[in-house]
Amino acid sequence: MNTDTKKAAGWLIIILPTVIYGGFSILNLIITKNVGIVENPLRKDFFRAGHAHAGILLMLSLICYLYVDKASLSTSLKSIVKTFIPVSAIFIPAAFFFSVLSPTAEEPNSFIYLAYLGALTLAIGLLILGIGLIRSPKKEDEH
């Protein structure tokens, strides 16, 4: 793993406790029967979905970082992979959280469209990484 990838992975690991704190916060809101969470199934489901996506996508980012330096890709494409996959871990959860901020929300607001942007960045990052891993290896990788 090169130095830049290792530093980026380190930052993601440092960020992971925020997801733990988010899970604790959501659990606390449900246990204390916070108005607007327990009584509003949409809001409760969206908060849970946002939290779950944040954790899973950060973990997926860390897994992808193990492979990105082994992929047959240019430096620019590797940078795209190392940026796009973790950025999806911001956009997708943000779509869930911000689209139901109002305790009386009955449907998601326009922030939900951030999920499409997040899904697009995730798909682009994963496709580039996958293609880079499938491509013919560089000469130095053949030993």
pTM listed for this prediction? 0.85
Nearest Cα to Cα of residue 112 among 24, 66, 27, 49: 49
* Whether residue 2 has pLDDT greater than 50: yes
Q: What are the backbone angles phi and psi of residue 59, rounded to the nearest 5°?
A: -65, -40
Q: Which of the listed ranges 28-32, 104-108, 120-124 does the model predict with the highest average pLDDT?
A: 120-124
Please give the sequence-ordered ranges of beta strands (E in DSSP) within 1-143, or none if there are none. Answer: none
Q: Which residue has the higher pLDDT, 137 or 133?
A: 133
